[in-house]
Amino acid sequence: EIVLTQSPATLSVSPGARATLSCRASQSVGSNLAWYQQKPGQAPSLLIYGASTRATGVPARFSGSGSGTEFTLTISSLQSEDFAVYYCQQSNVWPPLTFGGGTQVEIK
Amino acid sequence: EVQLVESGGGLVQPGGSLRLSCAASGFTFSSYWMHWVRQAPGKGLVWVSRINSDGSSTNYADSVKGRFTTSRDSAKNTLYLQMNSLRAEDTAVYYCARGGGVTMLEFDSWGQGTLVTVFS
């Protein structure tokens, strides 16, 4: 089973600032990595798939990069609606499909 | 607009059973793989199961294998999760999700979730 480790667990960022979230895989997942956003009391929503492709309707301030075992989600200028928990998920080796433990982005 | 609406959650004792349903609309249900993902209170996301587009192939997390069964009815545009021999650790919000992206192994649409509580 591929283990995804997200860091940091919590990220405190000021509105308008840049946020960089990390996801590390226990073995290579190629580019088969997705990112999700989950706001309190809501279902997750897909942000990025294929490591760097934005899902339909996702603002351009969200970008994904990386391949192999190291991945990054960058939010270029945090808006109030971006404060949420972010999860990475791999689909290269399955079952099982696995998620990281999440990074909470909070207001500084 | 893609819509996924789960139902069937509730309170159940250990060893009991529940069947969750997920009604799909706004897309060609029979063309997509579908998944169940769960989230224990205050915890992260855990993939539970996947079913292919015609229902002929399924996969499960080890933690539910042999106890849970996922199925689909394309005539009713509905996905199911039959949960037997429930344990306290199965307590979670259960989401159905559509397989999207390039491989149908990413989750591009989610339902609102249904809460399953296993208590004694």
Which band of pLDDT confidence, cut at 50, 70 and 90, is reported for residue B72? very high
A49 vs B101: CB contact, 8 Å cut-off?
A: yes
**Number of continuous H segments (helices) and E segments (strands) in chain A:** 0, 11
B86 has a pLDDT exceeding 90: yes
B45 vs A87: CB contact, 8 Å cut-off?
A: yes
Query: Would an 8 Å CB–CB cutoff place B108 in contact with chain A?
Result: yes
Which band of pLDDT confidence, cut at 50, 70 and 90, is reported for residue B101? confident
Q: A25 in helix, strand or coil?
A: strand
Segment B87-91 shows an average pLDDT of 98
B102 has a pLDDT exceeding 90: no
Q: Specify the pLDDT at position B103.
A: 85
pLDDT 10s digits, A18-70: 999 999 999 999 999 999 999 999 999 999 999 999 999 999 999 999 999 99
Query: Would an 8 Å CB–CB cutoff place B11 in contact with chain A?
Result: no
Separation of alpha carbons A64 and A81, rounded Å: 18
Query: Would an 8 Å CB–CB cutoff place B80 in contact with chain A?
Result: no
- Which residues face B109 on adjacent strands? B98
Segment B22-51 shows an average pLDDT of 98
B120 has a pLDDT exceeding 90: no
B93 has a pLDDT exceeding 90: yes
Sort out which chain B residues have CB atoms less than 8 A from A9's CB and list them: none
Q: Specify the pLDDT at position B8.
A: 98
A101 vs B47: CB contact, 8 Å cut-off?
A: no
Separation of alpha carbons A17 and B110, rounded Å: 29
Query: From the list B44, B60, B109, which residue is nearest A87 (CB)?
Result: B44
pLDDT 10s digits, A86-95: 999 999 999 9
Measure in Å the smallest separation between the Cα of A25 and chain B Cα atoms.
16
